[in-house]
Structure formats: C-alpha cells, structure tokens
Structure 1
Amino acid sequence: MIYENLNKNYISGEWRDGKGETVYEVKNPYNDEVLQTIKMANKEDIDEAYQSAEKAQKEWMDLNPFERSSIMEKAVQIIESRREEFVDHLINEGGSSHLKANVEVDFVIAITREASSFPLRMHGEIVPSMIPGKENRLYRKPLGVVGVISPFNFPMYLSMRTVAPSLACGNGVVLKPDEQTAVTGGILLAKVFEEAGVPKGLFNVVIPSIEEIGDTFVDHPIPRLISFTGSTAVGRHIGELCGKNVKKVALELGGNNALIVLGDADVDRAVNSALFGKFMHNGQICMAINRIIVHKDKYEQFVESFVEKAKRIKVGDPQNKDNLIGPLINHEAIERILGQINEAKKQGAKVVLEGKVEGNVMHPTILTGTNDVATAKNEMFGPVATIIPAEDDDDAIRIANDSPFGLSGAVHSASPERGVEVAKQIVTGMVHVNDQSVNDEPLIAFGGEKASGIGRFGGKWSLEEFSTVQWISVQTEERESPFSTDYLR
C-alpha cells in the first residue's frame, strides 16, 4: 500500500493541519498541477513540535542501542521497498529526472544505513590523568534536540542526511522542509520513521509560512543545533542567530564550483565529466560545476566538443526516462538565470550555445568569458556553464580560488598526482581528480570552506556533529589540597 494523506504536518506523533493562516499549494514544476494543499504551521505548532521532541528524546536516549539500531535498519528496508513510490514523488514534486531520482534514493538508503551503526558507536573512553588517583572518563551523548532546515533540490536526501544521524545518535528532531518539496523533503520521511517504529513525538515535520513564524524555528530555546542547507545569505543569518543563542550550527551553503582542465588532460574524458557535473538535475545542485577552466592549448577543442555534446542532451518531461534535463523548480528561477546571462553578455561573455526556454524547462546554455562575468561570479543553479581559458596551472588555480565560495570542484590531468597537487591548492572542501564535482558518499566528510559552510556531514563526522562529549572524572584516592586542615592556621 502506498503512503496516503501527504498534506499534513506531523507533530507529537499526529498527522494534522497546521494552525497557521496560510494554505500552500505544492505544484508539479513541469505542468503546474497541484499535488497537495497544505494548511501551514505557525509558531504554536513549532513550539509544540520542539516540546514533543524534547520530551520523547529522554526515553529514546535511554533505549538499548541495539533497539535504536534495529529501528534505523527497519527504516532502510522500508525505503528500499518503496523505491518506485519515492522516485515517482521526486519526479512529480521536484522535477527530478528518473536518473537523478534514483540516485537520490540511493543516497538516502546509504546515509540511513550508515546511521544505523551510530547507536553502537557512541563509545566512551578512559583517558590517563596527570592527577594521582584520578580516572578521566569521556562519555559520548546526544545533543538533545536538533532542528533541520532542508532545501528543494535534493529534498529527501538533504533532509535525511541530518535526520537519520541525529535520530541514531539519540536526539529528537524537528524538520522544516522547503514547502515546494514538502512531501519528498519531510512528509515521506515521517511516514518512513513512523512505520519503522520511532517513538511518537520524537520526530516532527512542520511546514510553516516564514512570513508567520519569522526566526522562531531557529531562535527557539530547545534545539541545541540547527542544521541548514541552502543559500549563503540565509546561512549567514542563521549562523548569527545561533551564535547569539550559543547553540551549534551545521551549514552547507552555496557553491561556485570549478572544473579545471590541465594542459595534459584527456579532453573527451573531461567533457564527459563536465556534462554530468553541470547538467545533472538541471544544474540545481550545490556541488554542480559553475565554471570550467581550461588550459589555453585545449580550450578550443574543449569548447567545441562540450557544445556539441550538450546539444544532444534530451530535455523535457521528466516522466520520460530518456530526458536528462527537466524543469527548474519554478519560473522565478528561469527569470533569475536569464537576467544573469544578459548581464554576462553586456560584460563581454559570448554565448556559444543558447538554450531555449519552454515553460519552466531551460535547455543547456554555454558561455565563454572571464571569471568576472555574471554567470561565472554567481552560482547559476541552473543549466548554464561558463568556460574560461587559463594560461597554465597557476593561472587555473588562481581563477578557481577567485571566489568567496569553496564547496566542491574537479581537476583533470593525464597525471593523477599532478591533478592532486593542483587540487590541494584549491581552497574548497572537496576536489575530485579526473571526475566531476557532484560526489557524495556516506563514509566521507562532506562540507565546504569559506562562504560554502561550516561543519562536515557523513560517516564519523556526522557522529561527531550530532553528538557531544561529557568529561566525568573520578578521584579514587584522596587528593591533597592546600585547603585541607594541615595547611590552615
């Protein structure tokens, strides 16, 4: 049986309408069909969700670790059994291609499976002391309650990337998905964990109107950590709020990722990598290639091949399994991108492939220019690439680093070690040699530098991020003190 009633908030273990004044229509971005009508949450709902998570967390934290692990494993089995159902939702709600939707479900399964090991990895430690007769014990403990704000582009995975590790570490969770993808970003996850047997009230999903709640989700005193994936501008604001309230923050923000093609690179291989890294999910990925920096000796060959292959990418209705590019999330995204392209043209960029626009669908668009044109300076978050020539390796590194962002990137070279040496000089959280920039694995540290974020997701880094350590010392023999009677007059 497929999941039903996908238009409710999930608060205190109950499916219900929010108490807010706003009603939101979730639409298919390809044809504007209304998929769900949601009565949105307000401040009172958010407070109840946090209170519920805090209350349920205390019992969840004390549950036998093997039981918590078993529940997480059950969630993995449920997701695997419902793959086709979830793929269909990702296509309809977010405009995912079949390829991207299946990749996203793979990611969700992988991170949930990895998280299922966390309850058995919350290890304590005994450390030697410099004080005679003292035993130092370190206990790894859950934070308490984690607040999660997730985006529209990989909604199910970028929610689960925090939700699964947080629950597995023994925390309560309140999730606020992007309203445009409320079902895949939140409601389906609540259905999964409800079916898996997570205690009522521990995991909550709220879909509020920001106009009604303001900063309440972040400012609320209960959550000890806010995990946010989204724009740098919003991330800065959330970071300020968390700093003011002395709570932890995990931020995965924007990117302006570069693929560097060195003078000895295999151009065909680099082109194929660039096609995937740029046009996967229409470029609506924080790790997507935005700038392609090519050694001058390979520049013309690369441009010609990249344009020719981009022309052959099938574009249109994402229900068609042959189409690799579907709609952007809304028409405002189209208008924003077209504005940046026009600005870049005024700044001297040349359009070598102009992609037509059909509704919310935009065909691949390729420009050549410098690092200073608008499409190179700004994260496009769409199917637009700017190709930039470089004089040599040092020039390519300089261009790649000439950005406030530092999330992901790629380097192509006939010599892997030469590629690694270049990669090490790029100020970014992740670089992939002879590959493209869109990579994520459940056991690897994922995160950015500079304006691309704070913290790391994945594997032991998630375990560290969503838990804390308490030091308890035990003095097994009396400690000499200057305040003992022997020292007093």
Structure 2
Amino acid sequence: MTLNPTAYSDLDRQFINGIWRSGRSGKTLSNTNPYDGSVINAISLASADDLDDAYCAAETAQQQWALTSHGERSALFLRVLSILDTRKEEIIAWLVRETGATLLKATVEWNALRGGTLEAIALPSRVEGKIMPIDIPGKQSFVFREPLGVIGVISPWNFPMHLSNRSIAPALALGNAVVVKPAEDTPVTGGLLLAKIYEEAGLPAGLLNIVVGDVTEIGDVFTLHCAPKLISFTGSTRVGRRIAELAVTGKRLKHVGLELGGNAPIVVLDDADLDVAVRAAAFARFFHNGQICMSGNRIIVDTTLYDEFVERFVDHVRTFKVGDPADPATVIGPLMNLKQKEAALQNIAMARAAGFEEKLGGEVDGLLVPPHVFAGVPNDSAFAQAEQFAPVAPIIRANSEQEALQLANATEYGLSSAVFTRDLGRGLRFARKIEAGMTHINDISIQDSPFNMFGGEKNSGIGRFNGDWILSELTTDHWITLQDTPRNYPF
C-alpha cells in the first residue's frame, strides 16, 4: 500500500458481487453538495433485479466466508484499519462535501469509523458456544453460535459512513455477508466509499454489496426479499415501523435491529455546575446542526438556575459561526436537504405562533439555518415533543427534581439522555429513573462507544449495537446433541 494512494474513482456505480456496474432502473440520481448545490456525481440507480443479484451474491459468498478462520477475518480488519489511516484526509473531504459536515464533525465521524473497525478485529475470537447439562444417559448437549447469514443494512444520511459500518464491520467479522442500501442523500459516504475500502482490503467478492436505488423501486423489496435474515435500519420511527411490519409479513420472518428517532432530555438540576452544563448543552444541541438522533433535543433546567442558564446559553451560542463547512471555524453548516430546511422553518414558525420567547434567531441563507433558541417552552407542546433535526433549541423550566424527571420521561422516545449535578450519587439515582437506553451524567447525550451498548427504549428502537450486544444480534444459537450410546425407546 502506498503512503499517498490514488484517490478512489468511479463512485457512480453499484457494487454487486465484486463488480462496479451501472444500475438498471433507467433512473439517475444527481448527488449534490448541500452547501453550494454543486453536483458531485450522477449515479444510475439500481432496479429490483439488481437488488436480487446482490442478495443472491451475498447468499453464495457467505457460505464459504462462514468457514474461514477467525484469524483470517480479523486480518481483514487490520487491513481496513490501515486504509482508513492512509486515506483519512480523502474520507474527511468526502464527508464534508457530500454530507455538509463541518471539519470537526467529519473528523469525529472518521474517528468513530476507525473505532468500530478496531473493535471488529477482536469480534471473531469472542464467539463462544456452550456445553450444556442434559438428563438423558449417553447424550452430550452443545449450543453453537453461528452467523445469521445475510444482513440487510439500510443506513441514514447524518453519520453515513459510521452508521453503515457499525453494522457492516461486525456482520462481516462474525461470518455474515451484507447488502447495504445507503440513503439517497449520501450514496458515496453511506456505502460506495466503504465498498472501495473493503475491496482494497481484499474482501472476497459478494460479501459486501452496495445497492443505491429509489425507495419507490427497491424500498419495500429490500426487506421483503427472502435472503436477509436480519434488517438493520437506522432512521425515523415512521420508516422503522414500516420495516418492522414488512419483516413479519413477508414469506420469511426476519430479525430487525431498529435504531430510530430520539428526543433526548438534557436535565440541569439545581446544584449543577453552570459553566459545564451550558457548554455541554450547547454542544449536544448544535453539533452537526442538531441532525443527530442523540442530540439534546429538550433542555430542562431547574427554576433556581433557569434565568442565568438561558442568558449564558444564548451568549455562548451567539458566538457560533455559520457558513462553509470546510472552514475550520464553522460550527453551523448547511442542513442536509430542502426537506430538513422546511421542517426546521415549520418548527420555528410553530414556536413563534405559540408565543414562546425567541432569545436568538437569524436569517436563513440557502440550507444554512442559524441557531434559534426559544425559552419558556412547555414540555407538552408540539414544539418540544418534535424531534428537532435542526439547530433549534427549546429550553424548559422545571420546578423541582421530581418534575424534571417527569418532564424528561414525558416523550414517546427513549434513546439517549443526560443529567447535570455536582452530586454524583444523586446523578446516578436520577439517571436510573430516566426511561432511555442510555443516560450520561455531567456529559452530553451524544455518545457512541464501539465496545459499549448502544440502543433505545420506547419508540426509539429495538435491538442493541456494539460489542457483545451486536455479537448477539448478528449470530444465532444452534442446539446440537450427540447420543454416543444407544437409547432404549418405548416402542
């Protein structure tokens, strides 16, 4: 491998069974830069037949891959890791250009991608079976843990490389094959760029397939196809419900892993360190323009600190630079697409119409929406209950710790959360009462560690990612007995 490799090219095709080829739908996707609207490339979209080819290739390739040694699979990820290091600047540039990510966010995503790959190196050797007791004389009982088979991955546009690879890497490490449908907003960073990396690392053909297609043509059939044993989906709760329905109504029942919407509370108790809480809440709300399912969506502050918190929070957020994501000083870049912008403007209009205190705002320029902060927001308002996938912050007053907990839990979602207090015991007691898959004390709600559990409760999803949790999701138990002496049967 060279220290300065030639940049990847031909990222305008499907990757099926190890071959880069044009899609056969007759439709073309114009892939654009969210910041300046320039066309990055044009991709001929896949048809249902292309998808079928991808799933069939995965089924065939997986049978041999499951028989490979743990060492061989681990070695693949060592090579991938080296490629990620060598191509770091190229990958970050793609994330900035295709997703509108600031340099900070793109670098954070590259680090997450690298961390997940590093964890995948160890996964093959962590698969364990069991020898079980049994009451029948002369019989031995075993439980083997085997790969599921083919995994279908539908990934989002907000952290496309990381959230695609969060399923791809462990699936491959555990002996599965993968077919990925990346979001149409991020076909390159969500799939095609990863295919280039795995191809360069020497992954055998057919084990990773990237199918870029129109949801109206391959959306439902992606889940309904008989090949995948599990569909891993990251995205909205509305679409997640649809996938769950399809997974149980098709010809073959499927497992699902659903990481869905969020409305994370950031709770600031009456003894919190305001300097810490203000900066953390601002970062949790505005990192990547709030386009993260774990973003601090509601900021709930005890009444004794409320006024001072609001003043400090607004003063801090006012300093954020809005503009070109390629500028290292930029904090707020463009929203992903026109749909996200329209949703943001609707929510801002909703808050204004309801008479909430607009402490900070500004003029929209293209897909650039400056930070908006609203105080005096009731927790049960439609504005507070909406998932703000934009740089918009509702601040909510709580009259006591008990009310703060009640407000935090008063949402249909339960993905991530955070609480700020100087009393760590109090923080732990409070955290354990929050109805969420994840709670962080004196830190932001945006946390994802490759060897720690990730997942939500309520309408935020089903299943768990990372570490031993994803190992369980992507494998299945097979009970096998061995009768080594003849049995006496009753007839």
Deviations 1:114-166 (A, max 9, x none): 11212222222212223332211111111110000000000000000000000
**Partners of 2:401 and 2:363 in 1: CA distance:** 35
One-letter code aligned to 1:151: P
Deviations 1:247-297 (A, max 9, x none): 100000000010000011111110011011111111000100110000000
Deviations 1:373-403 (A, max 9, x none): 2321100111111000001111011111110
**Partners of 2:338 and 2:129 in 1: CA distance:** 52
Deviation at 1:5, TM superposition (A): 1.0
1:85: which partner in 2? 90
Find out whether 1:259 has 2:259 as its counterpart.
no
Deviations 1:76-131 (A, max 9, x none): 11111111100000000000111110110111111111112122222222122233
Find out whether 1:111 has 2:119 as its counterpart.
no
Find out whether 1:50 has 2:52 as its counterpart.
no
Find out whether 1:281 has 2:320 as its counterpart.
no
**Partners of 1:223 and 1:301 in 2: CA distance:** 53
1:486: which partner in 2? none
Deviation at 1:342, TM superposition (A): 1.3
Deviation at 1:366, TM superposition (A): 0.6
Find out whether 1:99 has 2:97 as its counterpart.
no
Find out whether 1:268 has 2:275 as its counterpart.
yes
**Partners of 1:214 and 1:296 in 2: CA distance:** 47
Paired residues, what number?
A: 483
**Partners of 1:355 and 1:233 in 2: CA distance:** 31
One-letter code aligned to 2:392: V
**Partners of 1:378 and 1:281 in 2: CA distance:** 18
1:366: which partner in 2? 373
**Partners of 1:379 and 1:21 in 2: CA distance:** 36
**Partners of 1:354 and 1:204 in 2: CA distance:** 44
Find out whether 1:442 has 2:450 as its counterpart.
yes
One-letter code aligned to 2:387: E
In the alignment, structure 2 segments of 5+ residues that lack a partner are 1-5
2:323: which partner in 1? 316
Find out whether 1:135 has 2:140 as its counterpart.
yes
One-letter code aligned to 1:188: L
SS of the equivalent of 2:185 reads helix
1:300: which partner in 2? 307
SS of the equivalent of 1:471 reads strand
Find out whether 1:123 has 2:131 as its counterpart.
no
One-letter code aligned to 1:398: Q
Query: Any conservation in 2 of the 1:65–1:119 contact (CA below 8 Å)?
Result: yes
Find out whether 1:70 has 2:78 as its counterpart.
no
Query: Any conservation in 2 of the 1:328–1:334 contact (CA below 8 Å)?
Result: yes
**Partners of 1:104 and 1:38 in 2: CA distance:** 24
**Partners of 1:305 and 1:479 in 2: CA distance:** 78
Once the two structures are overlaid, the 10-residue window that deviates more, 314-323 or 341-350, is: 341-350
1:15-414 superposed matches below 5 A: 15-245=20-250, 246-368=253-375, 369-414=377-422
One-letter code aligned to 2:432: K
**Partners of 1:348 and 1:137 in 2: CA distance:** 65
Deviations 1:142-197 (A, max 9, x none): 11100000000000000000000001111110000001111101001000110111
Deviation at 1:214, TM superposition (A): 4.1
Off by >6 Å, runs of 4+ in structure 1? none
Deviation at 1:211, TM superposition (A): 2.0
SS of the equivalent of 1:62 reads coil
Q: What is the root-mean-square deviation in Å for CA atoms of aligned residues?
A: 1.0
SS of the equivalent of 2:327 reads coil
**Partners of 2:461 and 2:438 in 1: CA distance:** 12
Deviation at 1:324, TM superposition (A): 1.5
Deviation at 1:15, TM superposition (A): 0.4
**Under a length normalisation based on structure 2, what TM-score does the superposition of the two structures give?**
0.97
Find out whether 1:470 has 2:478 as its counterpart.
yes
Once the two structures are overlaid, the 10-residue window that deviates more, 142-151 or 341-350, is: 341-350
**Partners of 1:98 and 1:480 in 2: CA distance:** 72
**Partners of 1:355 and 1:461 in 2: CA distance:** 43
**Partners of 2:128 and 2:321 in 1: CA distance:** 50
**Partners of 2:62 and 2:89 in 1: CA distance:** 32
**Partners of 2:331 and 2:277 in 1: CA distance:** 19
Query: Any conservation in 2 of the 1:375–1:385 contact (CA below 8 Å)?
Result: no
Deviation at 1:64, TM superposition (A): 1.7
**Partners of 2:427 and 2:352 in 1: CA distance:** 32
**Partners of 1:255 and 1:51 in 2: CA distance:** 35
**Partners of 1:214 and 1:281 in 2: CA distance:** 27
One-letter code aligned to 1:69: S
SS of the equivalent of 2:136 reads coil
Query: Any conservation in 2 of the 1:57–1:144 contact (CA below 8 Å)?
Result: yes
1:479: which partner in 2? 487
Matched-pair identity in %:
47
SS of the equivalent of 1:279 reads helix
SS of the equivalent of 2:422 reads coil
**Partners of 2:249 and 2:185 in 1: CA distance:** 29
One-letter code aligned to 1:332: K
**Partners of 1:301 and 1:357 in 2: CA distance:** 28
